Structure formats: C-alpha cells, structure tokens
Structure 1
Amino acid sequence: MLHTSKDIRSPGLRTLPPGVERYFVRGGGLSIIEVLPEDKIEIINEEGKQICEIIVFNSKGKSDLSILNLKENSNADFSKKTISNDEKISKILKKKNLNLSNAKASIIFNDDCLMGEKITLTSKDKCIVMIAAPGDAMNVHEQNPPTDLTIYLNKAKFIETDEQFILPDPLSDPIIEQLVKRRTAETYSVKAGEYIQIIDPGGRQCSDFLAFDTQKLNDGIESIIDDKTTRTFMGGAYPGPGLFSKFYDGDHEAMIEVVRDTVGRHDTFNLACTSKYYEDMGYMGHINCTDNFNNRLDKYDINSRKSWSAINLFFNTAIDANNVASFDEPWSRPGDYVLFRALKDLTCISSACPCDVDAANGWNPTDIFVRTYSKEKKYSKAIAFRMKTDSEPKLTQETGFHKKTSELTRNFVEYKGFWLANNFTNSGTIKEYTACRESAIATDLSPLRKFEILGPDAENLMQYTLTRNVKKLSIGQVVYTAMCYENGCMLDDGTLFKLGQDNFRWIGGDEYSGEWLKEQAKKKNYKVWIKSATDHIHNIAVQGPNSRKILEKFVWTAPIQPSITELEWFRFNIARIDHETGTPIVISRTGYTGELGYEIWCHPKDAAEVWDKVWEAGKEFDITPLGLEALDMVRIEAGLIFYGYEFDDQTDPFEAGIGFTVPLKTKEDDFIGKEELIKRKANPQKKLVGLELVGHEPALHGDCVHVGRGQVGVITSGMLSPKLGKNIALCRIDVKYSEIGTEVEIGKLDGHQKRIGAKVVPFPFYDPTKSRVRA
C-alpha cells in the first residue's frame, strides 16, 4: 500500500486500539492470559500448519473448557509435558492454585491449516487461559518447525486513556520499584553488582541518569560518571547514538556497565536540560531536569549546578554529514528499557524529562519506572532486534554453537539478533584468515535466516520472487540468487535448496524476506506455506583445502545420496553423524570464502555435538575457528558481496556485481522486478569493480573515488590482502570509468586533501577461475 504525503505513521507507539492487547505464543511454547466475561480471544495462525492447544481454568482453579465453548481432545497433552519441565510456569500455576493434573485440553486448527487462519473465542466467565503452540524439536531433514501464534485479546470492558503505560514483567524479584513521575526526578542507591532497570512505560520519553560513587560521596567527594573519560576510553564520538559498554568516572574507575538495551539509540552524553535552554526559547521558569536534580540531590549535600552532564537515555540525537547536530522523537517504544550493572556502590538519580516544547519527548512528557535487582541473579547481555518497526523485540540470542565458541573467545559482536565471534583469543584474525586459505576453519553462521517453503505452489512462488530460474533446479541442488523489489533493486540475496518437488528451503540474510514471501503468496493467491526455521536450524561452515578430508571422517550418507567425496559444488546431502541412526544433519557444498568448503546444518540442540565432531576430525589438519573479521577478509578477496556494503535496496543485481543471477534471456516466466531489470541492464549507470591501490593504506567502506575533482564512485569494501600481497578494494563506480586499467583516486580526509592512486582490475581477486572452490 502506498501512503500519501499526508500520512504520518508512528508504528513504534500505540498500534492497537484501546482495549486490545496482543500476545505471542512461540512455536513449541505456551502463554498464559487472564480473561474476563465477554472478552474475545482472536488466535491467528500466522504461518499455518500449526495446531493450537488450549486449557481453561475457571475462577476456582478448576479445568473448564466450556467457558470458551471448547471440547476436549484426548490426545492433547503438550501443555502438561511442557509445564512439568518448566519450573517457572509450574510456580505460576501453583501460586494461582491451578490444578493441572486433571486439566482437559482442546486442540484448534489442523495440521494443514492455511497461513493467517483465524479463530475467535468468546469468554462466558472470568478465567485463565493457557494457549500452546505444540511442536517437537525440528528434524533438519524435514520441514516441520513449530511456529508462532498471535493472540489478540479484545476486552469487553476497559478504561480508555490517551496514553499507554506498559511495564514489562520483572526480570526477577526487585529490590526497589520506583515510579519517577513525569517532570520529576528520584534518587535511589544500589550496591556493587546489583542491576538497575530503567523503563520507559509510555514510549518516546527521555530519562537522564547520574550515578555517584557512594563511598567517595560519604567522604565529601562528588565523583560521578564522566563524559570525557568515558568517550576517550570507549573510543566514541560525541554525541553517539547508542550506549557505551561501560561508563567511567574522572578517576578512570568503571562505574556501570550496560547489560541490556531494548532501544538501541540514545544520546550517550549531553547536558540534562537546563533553565537556560528554555529561557533562550522564551519559556522563562520552565521546569527542567537540572533543577530537579539539584533539588533531589540536596539531601546528600551535593552542590547545585547550572547543568549536569548525564547519560541521556532514550534521547535521540544525530550528527549529519556537515557535522550539524539535531534531535528528534525518541526511538523507545512503550515498555522499552535499559539494564545497567553497578560496578561499585552507587547513589543514582533518574529523571522523567519535563520537556514539552519540542520533539525530545514527542511533545508529551510521561513517567519513567526504575527497578533494581540482586547481584545474585545473572542476566544475558543483549540488545533488542525488531524485524519490523512494530514487531515484538527479540533479545540477542546465543547460537547453538555459542557454548563451544565462547570457550575460545570473549570477543563477540551482535549480528542480526545473535552473538557471533569477532575473532578468537589464541589465533587472531590473520591466523584465522591464513588457516582458511591453507588448511581448514570452522565458522558459526547461524544468524542466516531460514524459511521452509511448502505446498503445491512452492515452486511458482520462488520462481516469481527470485531472479534465478527455479524450475531448472533438481532435488538436492542449491542455487545462489537475488530477491528484488518491483523496481529491480535488491531486498536480499541467498541460496535456495530444493528438498522435493514442492519443498524448498530459502536461506538469506534478512528476516524480512520471509515476510516478503508471505505478502507475494497472498497477492498471487498461491497455496503455499512459508514457515520460519531460523531458531530450529543453526549452521557452521567448514572451509579450506582440507575441509573435505575432515567431513569424510564422520559424515554418513545413504547409498542413494552422493558421498562427501562425490558431492558437487552447490549440491547438498541429507546426512547423519557417524552412522545411519546418528544425529541428523544436512551438508551443503556452499560457503562464503572462495575456498573448497561445506556448510553443516543442524538443530541447535545438536550443535555442540556437531562442533565436537568437526574439531576432533580436524585436529590433524590444525583446524582453526574463524571469526567475522577474518570472514570479511576472505569474502572480499573472493569478490563476494555483503548487504549494506556491496548492495542495499537502492542497488540492482547488476550494480551489485551479481548480474549472473538474472538470466533475462533464458528465464521466460515473469518475476518481481523483471521489467525494470531489463531496462536497467540496457542502461547501466553503476558497476561493481575491483581496485588495486598503491601503498599500504587500505580503502574503507564509504571512501569516495575520484577522477579529477568529481566523484565517480564509492568504496564498498577494502583490505590489505596477506595472500596476494596487494591493497585491494571493491568499488561501485560510474560505468564510464569501469574499464580494466582505468586509473582513479581514493579520497581521504575531505576527499581532496589526500588521494590514494588506484586502478580498476578484474575480480574476484583470489582464484578468479574458482578452481579451488570447485576442486
């Protein structure tokens, strides 16, 4: 749907009408909600092929399906099995005096229900409803992941308000629960090791935070979090959207560390709002955070200040290309929070900013809520990942291989909602890179998004949404392809596995590609199911000249399947570990390194076993773990593209250097973007080329590329190649200057004061004939 220029959408704020609550039941899990008389429960089977199990308890704690007009199914026992293994849910049931032993369950939906199928239930009385999405751990050979259900609770009676006030469930039993009313500030104390959760219940509300060293404060010394020290140690610019991992005082002592952040964008340091700010706007006497701080801190004999340099939580600032600062409404949604851990005894103060004259709080100051927790509890480090602006947040996850990789490094970075190793402690980036080129490596690539495409129109859907000719695929074959929007620009790239006549597995980089497939299937009225499998299939890549020898030691394949020795490039195997009844895995001869290599796909519960098998088999070949830094080096050498660098949604496949994925001459069927791609190919404007630079200073992503004064291109990726002994880069350039041998200059500083000479060269830089990867 196109929106006119008059439309203003704020999907991060209230997206539901008053009286409507939204819940999610995760595939293989369950949720519990309280329902009142005449409330309506709408259950949506978003991806289809997912049954739903329901247990209802009346106000006396007895099982009573009749409240929702449901009938018992004798084979419905998923909820009981799940609860018996879940201590947290068992405690909730016990606390509410709910008797599960004799509870009866009802099953709604069937195994073949369509995507988006809905059922609405009306409650006759007050009750507690337990809703489950049954499903066992997915077998990677099959396409049966349990998937999510969406629940809308339409309240029959509610109090309509203009504002939301959403408090997430406590992370554990709080020590302190403190409401910071709008336009005020509150103080509180924490001990070293305790946690501080600062919550924005209404969304779009700033909260300034200060912390004093309590011991020094007792000695009459005001030692607070220091902006200059923190920025210097953390290597951050000012202002810096986001949060530093640690904050320091002026004595270089760490005060707090950030454990969780569900927003992702804050102004790390600025002044808390001051009377001067409002006076200069003509609002004399306007209440401000600085005065609120001064008033509340007076009881600690802390001297008043004209301004306080604070951590500005939920404040949205930006610096443009011309170094001009600006700010806009905060990114925080109702219920978003930041979780700190105190590294020493602290005296803290938090504000609910009173600004109502600009976008700082969306022109509507609301409350802030603070909880503190015991140091005895441990919380995973995480930031929130949202597939769409109005999606429920998912905290950063650990992959199935994390238990093993975390034994080898503490250097992890967040990637697409998962923690991945950046490099490894006893190897390092260059050794990891070298091992990939000379021996063998294993690298965790589990954040790749996986979707099962099932049904009689599965091939039609993929033929229509991908640029490759899917109809040419044989069972057991893999194809690399682009996925484009209607204008011919790229949404995603990825690989498509053909598991059967009507069975495909799409593996891409963007979670939205699954949503896109659902949208197109609905438009075309295809009978097809798209089921998310990212959380049920994790994978490592085993790459390098010795990768085949490693897998030959433990991979079992059926006689009708090709052996590891026989498996050809861009083919996959249904396989097992060691023997025919061993752990199920899928082996594909694919990779992202430009070397002979394979990927192993398994369920997360089997990941540790897979890692151990690879490691044991690879010892004689000095197998090395490989992190993201080294992976980036080998993929640049191999001329492999990466989203946000070589392509984005303003780049077509030809400009991204993968024109070979668009067979316009041989694919007669229509596909999304085809007409525009025909025009774009006939009238190219940009082209991805290789560059070889003089000197030893690498080009960086975003560096400008010039011929004379005018800019003709931009660097997408660059590196110093240890293997080739060259300074190389990938560059998107005006087609006029794309011929091999053309001399250009990479601009540094302002693009003109310093230039690095370069020339256009063929790429891939490494193994241009792909003889190694095909070996």
Structure 2
Amino acid sequence: MTTLKRTPLFPVYEKYGAKTIDFGGWDLPVQFSSITLEHEAVRTKAGLFDVSHMGEVEVKGEGAYLYLQRLTTNDLSKLEVGQAQYSVFCYPDGGTVDDLLVYKYADDHYLLVINAGNIDKDYAWMQEHLSEGVQIENISPQTAQLAIQGPLAESILQKLTDTDLSEIGVFRFKRNVVIDGIATLVSRTGYTGEDGFEIYLDSDKAIQLWDRLLEVGKPEGLVPCGLGARDTLRFEAKLPLYGQELGKDISPIEAGIGFAVKVDKEVPFIGQEALKAQKENGAPRKLVGIEMIDRGIPRTHYPVFVGEEQIGEVTTGTQSPTLKKNVGLALIKSEYAAVGTELEVEIRGKRLKAVVAATPFYKRPKK
C-alpha cells in the first residue's frame, strides 16, 4: 500500500474539520465545510488554501536565463526582477510537460513553481536539459505555500504585516515580507479568478501562519478551503488544470493558453516548431465551454458528439456554484468550436443536448 504524502499542515486539518482525499499521491483536504460555501466565500469574502503540495525549484547561475528561455514557451526577456510569468514546458511535438510560474529574483536567479503531481517528472526534465553554468535545486520539501484568495484577501493579510500589500501588483512579488514575525515571499498571481496572494515560507512555520490568518480573518468571513472549491473556482475562470485541460497529448495552443507561447522569441525553445505550426495553421482541437440544455452534469472524459461522430471529450464539468448551471470545458475538433454550436454529451449511456458557450464562465467585477 502506497503511503500518501502530507503537507506540513496535515496535523491541523482535523481541527478545522477537513475531509481528505488522495490527490495525485497526496492526502489533501477536498473540503472543510462544504464546497459550495467555500466557493462562495472566495467569490464574496475570502478563503485560505493549503497549497504546500505544489513544487518549487530554484534555478541559479550565469546560464540560468538562456537555460530557461530554451525550456519555457514564454519570453523571459520581458520579465523584470520582482515579476512572475506564466509559462509552459513542452515536448518537441508541442505536448505539455507542465504549466508553471517563473519568478525572477535576478538575471541569474529564478524560482519555478510547478504542479504537485509533476514534481519528479519536471525535475528530471530539467536535469535532462541542464546546461553549463546552471544549478537547479528542488526546494519543495522545505517550502510551504498558503493562498489567501477573495475580495477581502488584501485587508485580512494586511493585518499581519507592515509591508504595504497594495504595492504588490498583479503577477508581481516581494521577498522578505515579514508576516506575523515570519519571513515570507508574497506574490499576487491567483488561481481562482479573484484577487489574492500566495505566501511562501519555511515548512516549520506553516501551522503558525495558517492559525493566525484564520484567527484575524474570521471577523471578515475568512474560511479554510479545500481542493473542491479550488477546482470549481479555477474552472469558472477557465484556468487550466494539468491532467485535464493540459497533458502530454494536449498542447498549450489547444488548451487556449497561446498567450504564454511566444513562437518568435529570439532563443529557440523545445516544441517551438510544432507550436508555431499550430499558431499559424490553427490547432486541430480547441478547448471550449459547453452549457447543458438537457438535464445532466458533464464530467471529465465524457464523450462529446455531433451526430454520430465523436468530436472530443469533456475535460472538466460541474454545476457552477456561481451560475447555478451545468457547464463544462471540452476539448473538441476545432471546426465545431464556434459559440452556439449544438452538441451532445454522453452521460451514463444517454446522449444529452448541450451548446458551445462563451468562456470564461466568470470574470470578477471591475473595481
């Protein structure tokens, strides 16, 4: 029997009522109260997530910049110190190794944040392509990560630090931010469609900060949140999840994140030719939103049809807590991707009517 990995916060899950599941080999909370309540808290007030299972890799050395330019699809030359960039590792055929965040500390020093289920695979990929003058270190085991998300996230976190959080812009970060006496790195990237912060800190300080945040945030409605709400929140905002919207057989162009693929950057990268062809000629498949017309919830891997032809499958689907509608994301043949196209989703052996819908399903209101 495989022993599930645990984050530094596992000892306090029970105290907060967590119901845990096996998530890619990790014993993680799917919910603390209910997925719907946690989802609504993040959309209207704030939620706190344990995302310590995510991977962190430091890249250092005089060759670090060129190394990462060759390894990632986005253009690192556009990245300033203190800025984060969304990017992708790709295989030569354009399939996705992983999607990730790149934080720039200096021209010769970066932090990569990678998906939990891909830590070993990504690190092996990075080692395989390692170039001279570059050192990489997997610092995941000693690093915890908390995410506070929602419209009240800034005011709650501000109670515990003297650093002016309003100065951290979107996709920016600050190092050495002291929160409740703990040295942290704070970034503002988000994976929920809401405003919010990610806090990176030493693993042994995670419980202290988790408890304090929930204590000071309670009057404003801050609640602990699990993977269930994290999934419905990111899904409504059409943010991809590796293993569903992205994978070794799904390119970032097909998944709708072509903005993170700069095929004309000066330094060639792995997968560039395949992705350039997809950008120029159109990808054979496209990720679209679908809304059910007939009653039924589309779920991952359910087949999608037009007439008797299977044109693709659902990648993620649920009843949207915000829209109160049965909606999904589906990877389908590009010729059927126009909004308004009628489709059928096979649910438990029955073909049920659906229609291609505009995405994202949710955009946060402008201030």
Q: TM-score range by the shorter chain?
A: over 0.9
Task: Select the residue among 188, 191, 201 that pairs with 1:592.
Answer: 191
- Preserved contact between residue 298 and residue 317 of structure 2 (Cα < 8 Å): yes
Task: Select the residue among 418, 443, 459 that pairs with 2:26.
Answer: 418
Q: Is 1:401 the counterpart of 2:18 in the alignment?
A: no
How far the C-alpha of 1:404 sits from its partner, in A, is: 2.5
Within-5 A mapping of 1:288-437 = 383=3, 396-424=4-32, 427-437=33-43
Structure 1 residues 598 and 703: CA distance shift in structure 2, 3 A: same
- Preserved contact between residue 584 and residue 602 of structure 1 (Cα < 8 Å): yes
Q: Is 1:647 the counterpart of 2:246 in the alignment?
A: yes
Name the SS for the 2:141 alignment partner. coil
Task: Select the residue among 58, 65, 84 that pairs with 1:452.
Answer: 58
Q: Is 1:746 the counterpart of 2:345 in the alignment?
A: yes
Q: What is the aligned partner in structure 1 of residue 105 from structure 2?
A: 499
Structure 1 residues 653 and 578: CA distance shift in structure 2, 3 A: closer
How far the C-alpha of 1:732 sits from its partner, in A, is: 0.3
Which AA in structure 1 matches 2:271?
A: G
How far the C-alpha of 1:411 sits from its partner, in A, is: 1.7
Name the SS for the 2:16 alignment partner. coil
Within-5 A mapping of 1:573-612 = 573-578=174-179, 582-612=181-211
TM-score (norm 2): 0.95
Deviations 1:44-64 (A, max 9, x none): xxxxxxxxxxxxxxxxxxxxx
Q: Is 1:531 the counterpart of 2:169 in the alignment?
A: no
Q: Is 1:676 the counterpart of 2:285 in the alignment?
A: no
Q: What is the aligned partner in structure 2 of residue 548 from structure 1?
A: 154
Deviations 1:501-533 (A, max 9, x none): 211011111111121111111xxx421011011
Q: What is the aligned partner in structure 2 of residue 660 from structure 1?
A: 259
Q: What is the aligned partner in structure 2 of residue 218 from structure 1?
A: none
Which AA in structure 1 matches 2:273?
A: E
**In structure 2, distance between residues paired with 1:602 and 1:419:** 20
How far the C-alpha of 1:696 sits from its partner, in A, is: 4.0
Structure 1 residues 431 and 696: CA distance shift in structure 2, 3 A: farther
Within-5 A mapping of 1:475-486 = 475-486=81-92
Deviations 1:575-627 (A, max 9, x none): 43357xx3111111022111111111111101012112211221111111111
How far the C-alpha of 1:416 sits from its partner, in A, is: 3.9
- Preserved contact between residue 443 and residue 541 of structure 1 (Cα < 8 Å): yes
**In structure 2, distance between residues paired with 1:407 and 1:650:** 41
Name the SS for the 1:549 alignment partner. helix
Within-5 A mapping of 1:464-483 = 464-483=70-89
Task: Select the residue among 171, 179, 185 that pairs with 1:570.
Answer: 171
**In structure 1, distance between residues paired with 2:236 and 2:166:** 26
- Preserved contact between residue 232 and residue 321 of structure 2 (Cα < 8 Å): no
Structure 1 residues 541 and 517: CA distance shift in structure 2, 3 A: same
How far the C-alpha of 1:418 sits from its partner, in A, is: 2.9
How far the C-alpha of 1:725 sits from its partner, in A, is: 2.2
Q: What is the aligned partner in structure 2 of residue 689 from structure 1?
A: 288
Task: Select the residue among 698, 705, 714 that pairs with 2:304.
Answer: 705
Task: Select the residue among 737, 740, 745 that pairs with 2:336.
Answer: 737
**In structure 2, distance between residues paired with 1:748 and 1:727:** 13
Name the SS for the 2:165 alignment partner. coil
Q: What is the aligned partner in structure 2 of residue 714 from structure 1?
A: 313
**In structure 2, distance between residues paired with 1:465 and 1:595:** 29
Which AA in structure 1 matches 2:270?
A: I
- Preserved contact between residue 452 and residue 506 of structure 1 (Cα < 8 Å): yes
Task: Select the residue among 216, 221, 232 that pairs with 1:617.
Answer: 216
Within-5 A mapping of 1:26-425 = 261-262=1-2, 383=3, 396-424=4-32
* Greater relative CO (CA pairs within 8 A, separation 6+): 2
Select the structure that is richer in helix: 2
Which AA in structure 1 matches 2:360?
A: P
How far the C-alpha of 1:652 sits from its partner, in A, is: 0.7
* 5+ residue gaps, structure 1: 1-260, 263-382, 384-395, 558-562
**Identity between Structure 1 and Structure 2 (%):** 34
Structure 1 residues 684 and 397: CA distance shift in structure 2, 3 A: closer
**In structure 1, distance between residues paired with 2:113 and 2:179:** 26
- Preserved contact between residue 556 and residue 575 of structure 1 (Cα < 8 Å): no
Return the index of the structure with the highest Cα Rg: 1
Which AA in structure 1 matches 2:87?
A: T
Which AA in structure 1 matches 2:56?
A: K
Q: What is the aligned partner in structure 1 of residue 352 from structure 2?
A: 756
**In structure 2, distance between residues paired with 1:568 and 1:576:** 15
Aligned alpha-carbon RMSD (Å): 1.5
